[in-house]
Amino acid sequence: MITTGFPTDGPTLAQVGERAVIAAIRAAAPSALNGDDAAVLTPSVPNSRVVAGTDMLVEGHHFTRATTTPYLLGRKATVQNFADIEAMGARPIAALMGVSVSRDAPAAWVEEIARGIGDMAGEYGCELVGGDLTDGQELVVSVTAIGSLGGNRPPLTLDAARPGQRVVAHGNIGYSAAGFALLQAGIDVPEELEVLVKAHQAPVLTPGRGVVARAAGATAMTDNSDGLIRDVTTLAKASSVGIELSKVALRPDATLQAAGVLLGVDPWEWVLTGGEDHTLIGTIDGSAPVGFRSIGAVTRKPGVRIDGEAPELTAGWESF
Amino acid sequence: MITTGFPTDGPTLAQVGERAVIAAIRAAAPSALNGDDAAVLTPSVPNSRVVAGTDMLVEGHHFTRATTTPYLLGRKATVQNFADIEAMGARPIAALMGVSVSRDAPAAWVEEIARGIGDMAGEYGCELVGGDLTDGQELVVSVTAIGSLGGNRPPLTLDAARPGQRVVAHGNIGYSAAGFALLQAGIDVPEELEVLVKAHQAPVLTPGRGVVARAAGATAMTDNSDGLIRDVTTLAKASSVGIELSKVALRPDATLQAAGVLLGVDPWEWVLTGGEDHTLIGTIDGSAPVGFRSIGAVTRKPGVRIDGEAPELTAGWESF
């Protein structure tokens, strides 16, 4: 079942008051590390390095109240931040939440966003450890992810792809864009396509794949956030290499094809330009790590190609 | 000299485009750690713990374009986050920046905010290592601070004040509120009172005081963000103790008194309820650490008192 919509009733933040809202947040996403000026995290691995990133979701730009729920919004904000940590080959160890929201909004919004963040963090074995809550006109959810990078191997950087390596991916590519298209179409989504809508509302990734890839010898990695061709191009440019993608490996699966038929859209568009899947895409010598599949190869010749040809679809997300 | 105002001309973010804006941010706040999916930080102290906190500043709620500049806003957002790290007894090691801003705003806003964050981080010996930039109606600046807590002593938590301890403070108390009052009055601020306005636009704290206090044996600490009485009450309640403040130690200095006379305001209001100074306030057995002064004592009897009496002014910042 697909769930959408923000509650419109119930006591507002102003009615509940800051202290009670914060208590509700801490009940929705409990953590013994939360509640002081800042959270203190103890890395599980001695001498590990710290990895940190942050992403904002703004109403009307990254989401609408009609197409998601506060809970799913919290999950999405968390997984997209954790994907950035995983894309360094690191393990998420904590999430921080900043929410700017109108004082006239139902307090349940904030509580549910926190529950979503806490639940997703829990799936990665960590917690929502702190944050900030403030009054604003526009709903903005800002999540910061903190990760831990153990061992002496380098992190998985954008500039470390080498010619001759395999390009590997973990997770579905194109699902989020297809799900968004289904939601926008305003149709009754067939049950077998609900997986696409859910992937848009909050992508599902298996925690720990970035760590697995690094341990297996991957050198470069990113996540599919702005669109596959765009993200792969960023990686190729940063590494001064080219990337040859395999059409067979990327071919839209039966679910994407069914959605394409339903909406009259070429599903390759979702695969190549969609983004927001937060799929991990990396490069490695030898075979694909557990949970990854091969989608192409790193070449000496610059540029990104699909079966030897320049991709026809290269658009992607731009903030401005 | 006081500087205020946001530039209103120059190319907009939409005109400059996301890539060029990000390049300008990285030029304004250079860091070799920036530019990948997430930033990798190497703690300078082996086996140190990670400390993290985040704060948002929203236009019209925490600042106005008329009373600050984008550069000072960046500095303020950073110092208030770093104060939370210091209040744990830790050392800031990195800042992350999230900015939500209209695509029609001058690109210089974002560049200057980043320069402010980078410069303030530089004063703490660290850098702006990453972030997120997005289109939104309302200007929101979200800074996340990452810190490092070395050694085996516990962090300086809110719940660790003990009866018999001294209450100590680093930094001016009431300056930020007085400066805000001067800006709001719309008067020509006399040169000798500019220090108050500057403290409001971006508080000045000596980096490293939290680490010094922890090394000297402080047990509890917070920063004066919501108002002195309110913050001290939070600390006292969390520790199940009382706090007796000294009227002589808190007495408004000549600068605050002069501002009070000019505006016809009792400067005690600024001292007791102002907040936003981000002054460090801690508790310690024995004498005040270097850079701190004694402002009171921890008592077994609950509640916060000034020279034995309940404070008349207890208001403070509330988000809702």
pLDDT in tens, B34-91: 999 999 998 777 778 999 999 999 999 999 999 999 999 999 999 999 999 999 999 9
Residue B317 three-state SS: coil
Q: Is B38 in contact with A142 (Cβ distance < 8 A)?
A: no
Chain B residues inside the 8 Å CB shell of A138? 100, 136-138, 140
pLDDT at A312: 81
The pLDDT tens digits for A119-170 are 999 999 999 999 999 999 999 999 999 999 999 899 999 999 999 999 999 9
Identity of residue B49: R
Cβ pairs bridging A and B (under 8 Å): 226
Q: Which of B36, B61, B90 sits opposite A157 (nearest CB)?
A: B36
* Stretch B185-194: mean pLDDT: 96
Question: Chain B window 28-87: which residues touch A at a Cβ cutoff of 8 Å?
Answer: 35-43, 46-47, 49-56, 58, 60-62, 83-85, 87
Q: Is B53 in contact with A37 (Cβ distance < 8 A)?
A: yes
Q: Identify the closest residue of chain A to B234 by CA–CA distance.
A: A36
Going across the sheet that includes A49-58, the strands are A127-135, A91-101, A140-149, A49-58, B39-41
Question: Bigger pLDDT: B265 or A315?
Answer: B265
Report residue A28's pLDDT band, with 50, 70 and 90 as the boundaries: very high
The pLDDT tens digits for A169-204 are 999 999 999 999 999 999 999 999 999 999 999 998
Question: Chain A window 154-213: which residues touch B at a Cβ cutoff of 8 Å?
Answer: 155, 157-158
pLDDT at A317: 67
Name the minimum distance, in Å, from the CA of B185 to any CA of chain A: 24
| Disruptive mutation site among B12, B50, B103, B221 for chain A (greatest number of A CBs within 10 Å) | B50
Q: Identify the closest residue of chain B to A63 by CA–CA distance.
A: B136
Report residue A32's pLDDT band, with 50, 70 and 90 as the boundaries: very high
Q: Identify the closest residue of chain A to B151 by CA–CA distance.
A: A42
Mean pLDDT (chain A, rounded): 95
| Disruptive mutation site among B21, B31, B34, B36 for chain A (greatest number of A CBs within 10 Å) | B36
Give yes or no for residue A8 having a pLDDT over 80. yes
Q: Is B134 in contact with A52 (Cβ distance < 8 A)?
A: no
The enclosing H or E element of B222 equals: strand B218-223
Question: Is 0.90 surpassed by the pTM of this model?
Answer: yes
Question: Bigger pLDDT: B116 or B318?
Answer: B116
Q: Is B142 in contact with A42 (Cβ distance < 8 A)?
A: no
Q: How far apart are CA B154 and CA A216, in angstroms?
A: 37
Q: How far apart are CA A292 and CA A116, in angstroms?
A: 27
pLDDT at B319: 63
Name the minimum distance, in Å, from the CA of A189 to any CA of chain B: 30
Give yes or no for residue A41 having a pLDDT over 90. yes
A37 is in an annotated binding site: yes
Q: Identify the closest residue of chain A to B95 by CA–CA distance.
A: A52
A131 is in an annotated binding site: yes
Q: Using an 8 Å Cβ cutoff, are A50 and B50 in contact? A: yes
Q: Which of B40, B50, B93 sits opposite A155 (nearest CB)?
A: B40
| Disruptive mutation site among A26, A34, A37, A110 for chain B (greatest number of B CBs within 10 Å) | A37
- Binding-site residue set of B: 37, 54-55, 62, 84, 131-132, 223, 225-226, 276, 317
Q: Using an 8 Å Cβ cutoff, are B140 and B270 in contact? A: no
Chain B residues inside the 8 Å CB shell of A16? 320
Question: Chain A window 234-293: which residues touch B at a Cβ cutoff of 8 Å?
Answer: none
Identity of residue A109: W
Cβ contacts of A156 within 8 Å, gap of 6 or more: A87, A88, A89, A210, A213, A214, A218, A219, A220, A221, A282
Report how far apart, in Å, the C-alpha atoms of B105 and of each of A217, B16, B75, B263 are.
44, 11, 20, 34
* Stretch B226-238: mean pLDDT: 96
> In this structure, what are the phi and psi dihedrals at residue A200, rounded to the nearest 5 degrees?
-75, -45
- CA A307-A309-A313 angle, to 5 degrees, is 105
Q: Which of B207, B241, B198, B181 is nearest to B123 (CA)?
A: B207
Q: Does A215 touch chain B (CB under 8 A)?
A: no
Q: How far apart are CA B160 and CA B187, in angstroms?
A: 44
pLDDT at B46: 75
Give yes or no for residue A269 having a pLDDT over 80. yes
pLDDT at B47: 78
pLDDT at B45: 77
Residues of chain A with pLDDT > 90, as a percent, come to 93
Give yes or no for residue B315 having a pLDDT over 80. no
Give yes or no for residue B317 having a pLDDT over 90. no
Report residue A46's pLDDT band, with 50, 70 and 90 as the boundaries: confident
DSSP string, A29-64: S--TT-SSSSEEE--SSTTPEEEEEEEEEEBTTTB-
Give yes or no for residue B314 having a pLDDT over 80. no
Residues of chain A with pLDDT > 70, as a percent, come to 98
Report residue A38's pLDDT band, with 50, 70 and 90 as the boundaries: very high
The pLDDT tens digits for A233-246 are 999 999 999 999 99
Mean pLDDT (chain B, rounded): 95
Q: How far apart are CA A81 and CA A52, in angstroms?
A: 9
The pLDDT tens digits for A272-315 are 999 999 999 999 999 999 999 999 999 999 999 999 999 887 77
Residues of chain B with pLDDT > 70, as a percent, come to 98
- End-to-end CA distance of chain A, in Å? 34
Report residue B318's pLDDT band, with 50, 70 and 90 as the boundaries: low
